[in-house]
Amino acid sequence: MATRIIRTYEDDILRKKCKPVGEINERIITLLDDMAETMYAANGVGLAAPQVGTLRRVVVIDVGNGLIELINPVILESSGMQEGNEGCLSVPGKQGVVTRPDHVRVEALNRDGEKFIIEGEGLLARAFCHEIDHLDGILYTDLVEGELEDIEYDEDEEVTEE
């Protein structure tokens, strides 16, 4: 495994639409492993493949309950509403308020090519939406309400970046 360089907002690759994964080969497995390592090294809660320069529909998420790997994820259902601060590893040091569904249901493939359905609430629902948006070239800064703010790192406050 290796960490990869995280692309930042001025990089055009973050604005492109990712292609679905066809065959889950060695390259995709290595990509998943490297993305998880990169996310953990950056203290993020999620990472999408275009953030490491690969235009494939691959996402990793860990909001504190273990690693979730999603290949070709699709949001099947969403409900409720939550408003909260969001950040992104590709927009370092910034955060902004984004309204997201509070509950989402996602279908994806795992690394063995098996289809599964996973549900998320709260922060996990937010992470699913944020990361799947990345696969379509959408950044949270497109959706932010009001101004982006500088993150003030406070010992008592946990900041999540995706």
14 binds Zn ion (CB under 5 A): no
**Radius of gyration of the chain measured on its C-alpha atoms:** 15
162 binds Zn ion (CB under 5 A): yes
Closest CB to Zn ion among 62 and 162?
162
Residue choice 39, 58, 88, 127 for contact with Zn ion (CB under 5 A): 88
Rounded Cα gap, residues 88 and 133, in angstroms: 12
The count of chain residues that interact with Zn ion, using the rule CB under 5 A, is 2
133 binds Zn ion (CB under 5 A): no
x/- string (CB under 5 A) for Zn ion, residues 49-68? --------------------
> What residues are paired with 75 via a beta bridge?
106
The DSSP result for 128-149, as a single string, is HHHHHHHTTT--GGGT-EEEEE
Tokens representing 23 are 């065959």
Interface ranges with Zn ion (CB under 5 A): 88, 162
